[in-house]
Amino acid sequence: MPYHRLIVLVVVANLAVGWHAVASGSWWAGQATALTSMEIVALVNVTLAVVVRQQWIVNALFWLATRAPTTWPLPVRWALAKIYHFGGLHVGLAASGTTWYLVFVVSLMYDHLHHRGHVSVPNLVVSGALVTLFVVMSILALPPLRARAHDTFEITHRFCGWAALALAWINTVLFVTTRHGGAFALLTTPAVWLLTVATVSVAMPWLLLRKVRVDTEHPSAHVAVVNLDGPNQPLIGSTQMVSRRPLLEWHSFANISAPEEAPGSHRMVVSRAGDWTAEFIDNPPTHLWVRGTPTAGMANVARLFQKVLFVATGSGIGPVLAHLMANEVSSHLVWVTRNPRKTYGALVDEVLAAQPDAIIWDTDAYGKPDMLRLAYGAYDTFGAEAVVCVANKKVTWQVVHGLELVGIPAYGPIWDA
């Protein structure tokens, strides 16, 4: 996947920097190690890892990628539509930053023990604590651990990340003032400005934290349709993170435009798929916390193609419905779900209003289909340029990778966070 290739690209770039440092012989020679250079390289990686996940940056990346006209060659648009794999940059940068901080701490300890340069004990202690936090975050973010204990991963990533940012500030102030002294040295060091960028990126969504009133409808015991108050309709195809406990857990859902009679609100579809969603459906709240700004969702890449087939299973209809209602792209829908009318109620009417010829496969009546075969048949009949699939992980990968193996542009969630 492009996700993995981006990780490799970042790692190779950092290896090139490391090779230059070793080959030049200047970083570990002389009376002291080039600690400032190591710290800056580490901070560049960490800061970019933070920035590339920032909501406004994500929206900008999607906006730029989808500006390409649909008359451009298909291979070019096929590649541009992989923009949502940008998480590979985050992983590569975070892993490289952590490695550089390890090198920095080892070098710092070596200089301290051999009385090289000006390394203070507080600087050494803070640097050791900082790199420990980065290592803990990296380990718990490994896909197998993240999948088994996602809540632990999320809490650790948030609180360890905040603590690491604070320690990075302390570490930089100690390091610069010990070696160079004075406030002016702080203002002229790149590390301070890199930390400023990282801090602003982390803080911005939380500065927009707000509590909104919600009204929940229950078409069935499996699904809740959540109506959220808001001053403006979110961007088409955007997602928004909501929480009942903002410091502990956040969940992302697709925004769907509200009916015309409720122009000041928007909706989300929540299906029973875990402890949080089950509790939400059984005991719906009157208010939810939201933060930051609505963020472009994966299905926005449909704008790069002239004709698109949307394939959805169950509540995957939520992200797709926003695009069907907007009618920005010529599209066709395949929706596979159990007893759609009984499960989703009036949402079925909205789907049919937007797509009267949609294929709605009732698994209660017809059983589970061969999703890859069904998707390929609809793609071929409709004459689509690309396929966007929103389903569970197994089905999404089956459809996306299966279609791409035979040369069809196909896209779906990659569960990278």
Tell me the CATH number at 366: 3.40.50.80
> Hey, what's the torsion of the CAs at 415, 84, 232, 264, to 10 degrees?
-40
d(CA 194, CA 363) in angstroms, rounded, equals 53
* Domain shared by 83 and 94, yes or no: yes
**Residue 231 domain flag:** yes
146: Cα separation from own chain's centroid: 14
Give the pLDDT score at 147.
83
**Residue 272 domain flag:** yes
* Domain shared by 213 and 271, yes or no: yes
**Residue 112 domain flag:** yes
| Boundary (domain end) residue, out of 296, 329, 352 | 296
Alpha helices in 52-182 (DSSP H): 55-65, 74-80, 87-113, 121-140, 143-148, 150-179
Written as tens digits, the pLDDT of the chain (417 aa) is 899 999 999 999 999 999 988 887 777 766 667 888 898 999 999 999 999 999 999 999 999 999 999 999 999 999 999 999 999 999 999 999 999 999 999 988 888 887 776 777 888 899 999 999 999 999 999 988 888 888 889 999 999 999 999 999 998 888 887 766 666 667 778 889 999 999 999 999 999 999 999 999 999 999 999 998 866 678 888 999 999 999 988 999 999 877 665 555 788 999 988 888 999 999 999 999 999 899 999 999 999 999 999 999 999 999 999 999 988 899 999 999 999 999 999 899 999 999 999 999 999 999 999 999 999 999 999 999 999 999 999 999 999 999 999 999 999 999 886
pTM: 0.91
Residues 417, 298 contacting (CB under 8 angstroms):
no
**Residue 416 domain flag:** no
Task: List strand residue ranges (DSSP E) for 50-105, in order.
Answer: none
Residues 292, 241 contacting (CB under 8 angstroms):
yes
Query: What's the number of domains the chain is made of?
Result: 3
* Domain shared by 272 and 384, yes or no: no
* Domain shared by 246 and 116, yes or no: no
The token pair at 106 is 């080892």
Domain CATH number, residue 227 = 2.40.30.10
Q: Phi and psi (nearest 5°) for 106?
A: -60, -45
Residue 368 three-state SS: coil
Give the pLDDT score at 180.
65
* Stretch (H or E) spanning 2: helix 2-24
| Boundary (domain end) residue, out of 277, 296, 315 | 296
User: Among candidates 183, 184, 234, 187, which has minimal Cα distance to 212?
Assistant: 234
* Domain shared by 330 and 369, yes or no: yes
User: Among candidates 392, 385, 390, 383, which has minimal Cα distance to 408?
Assistant: 385
* Domain shared by 117 and 47, yes or no: yes
* Domain shared by 213 and 248, yes or no: yes
* Domain shared by 175 and 54, yes or no: yes
**Residue 18 domain flag:** yes
* Domain shared by 117 and 20, yes or no: yes
Give the pLDDT score at 359.
95
Residues 230, 264 contacting (CB under 8 angstroms):
yes
The token pair at 276 is 């949080």
Residues 348, 340 contacting (CB under 8 angstroms):
yes
* Domain shared by 58 and 202, yes or no: yes
Quick one: CA dihedral 186, 191, 196, 197, positive or negative?
positive
Give the pLDDT score at 182.
64
| Boundary (domain end) residue, out of 266, 296, 326 | 296
* Domain shared by 155 and 11, yes or no: yes
List Cα–Cα distances, 356 to 89, 305, 336, 340, 352, in angstroms: 40, 21, 16, 15, 5
Give the pLDDT score at 375.
96
User: Among candidates 60, 54, 390, 415, which has minimal Cα distance to 235?
Assistant: 60
What residues make up the domain containing 317?
298-411
**Residue 77 domain flag:** yes
d(CA 214, CA 13) in angstroms, rounded, equals 47
Helix-helix angle 121-140:150-179, to 10 degrees: 160
User: Among candidates 129, 188, 133, 165, which has minimal Cα distance to 43?
Assistant: 165
* Domain shared by 191 and 129, yes or no: yes
First to last CA, the chain: 16
Q: Phi and psi (nearest 5°) for 155?
A: -65, -45
